[in-house]
Amino acid sequence: MPELPEVESFGKYLVKTSLNKEIKKVKIESPQLLQNIDINVFNKKIKGKCFLNVKRHGKYLFVLLNNNSWLVLHFGMTGSLKFYKDNAKKLLYSRVIFDFDDGSHLAFIDPRKFGKIHFTQKIDDFINYKKLGPDAFDINLKTFKNLYSKRRGASKTALMNQNVMSGVGNIYSDEILYHAHVHPKTSFLNLSDGKLNEIFKIMKNVLKIAIDRDLKGENLPDSFIIPHRIKNGECPESKTKLKTIKISGRTSYYCPVCQKEI
């Protein structure tokens, strides 16, 4: 689930529910999510603090604590956040739970435990450490073209590479290429300058629509390929049955009529 749009809404959700409350206790059910930090040190850094603000870069959510450090959340394939008030309730697949002093809780839910939690003093340090490219929602056209115009290999692989640009994953790369009428295996090297401009615009648009819809809890438009990502799904435009191929080990959906390989 969690690519850029979902992480953006997790951030908004955290802001809406969990800011400025003292964290009484952290329950760490799955210590393996903690990266480069001892469980005791983690506890010490969090206990008695509160969340002040959030920032997002790509698929990472940075949560500012009132000790000038940032908690870094990455949601993997199945991570999410859930806020609740009921004291007795404990949600299935809770891996880390923040207990606030007013009796409410924020849980990091993650069935597959692919999520990761770090600490950093500065966001930029973390971005450098992970070698993350610019955020897909912030990036400008010039930078985008610099990064992609000479990129070899499949366009889908390039869009998913977090070191080139950060935030687009398997699902949204398919969506972007679908609207651009580009086959996921086609290389950026084979695309015209105009096509790159178009892909840039489409990417921004797709992400914006996805963020808005996610925040409102609505479904994506039927003109998107994502809702048709099912067995026997059809292209909403040409009504052709969608095809799937493996690219970089991930399943890619595309329309064989609208997206011809070059």
Q: Which residues bind DNA (CB under 7 A)?
A: 1-3, 6, 32, 58-59, 74, 76-77, 111-114, 130, 151-154, 157-158, 160, 162, 169-171, 229, 244, 247-251
1: helix, strand or coil: coil
User: Which CB atom, from 31 or from 48, has the smaller least distance to DNA?
Assistant: 31
CB of 92 to DNA, least distance (A): 8
Among candidate residues 87, 72, 84, the one with its CA nearest the CA of residue 118 = 72
> 222: how many CB neighbours lie within 10 A of its CB?
8
CB of 7 to DNA, least distance (A): 9
- For 34, the token pair is 């903690």
User: Which CB atom, from 157 or from 259, has the smaller least distance to DNA?
Assistant: 157
CB 223 within 8 A of CB 255: no
- For 27, the token pair is 């329950």
Q: How far apart are alpha carbons 170 and 95 in whole angstroms?
A: 25
User: Which CB atom, from 10 or from 51, has the smaller least distance to DNA?
Assistant: 10
- For 9, the token pair is 């809404």
User: Which CB atom, from 103 or from 227, has the smaller least distance to DNA?
Assistant: 227
CB of 101 to DNA, least distance (A): 31
CB of 93 to DNA, least distance (A): 7
CB of 166 to DNA, least distance (A): 8
User: Which CB atom, from 91 or from 102, has the smaller least distance to DNA?
Assistant: 91
User: Which CB atom, from 74 or from 181, has the smaller least distance to DNA?
Assistant: 74
Q: How far apart are alpha carbons 81 and 140 in whole angstroms?
A: 30
CB of 25 to DNA, least distance (A): 23
Among candidate residues 15, 11, 10, the one with its CA nearest the CA of residue 80 = 10
**If you search the block for the tokens 């959906």, which residue do you land on?**
253
User: Which CB atom, from 42 or from 148, has the smaller least distance to DNA?
Assistant: 148
* DSSP states along 186-240: SBGGGS-HHHHHHHHHHHHHHHHHHHHHHHHTPPPPTTSSGGG-STT-B-TTT-P
CB of 13 to DNA, least distance (A): 14
CB of 189 to DNA, least distance (A): 8
C-alpha distances out from residue 170 to 1, 26, 40, 92, Å: 10, 32, 36, 26
What Rg do the C-alpha atoms of the chain give, in angstroms? 20
User: Which CB atom, from 229 or from 243, has the smaller least distance to DNA?
Assistant: 229
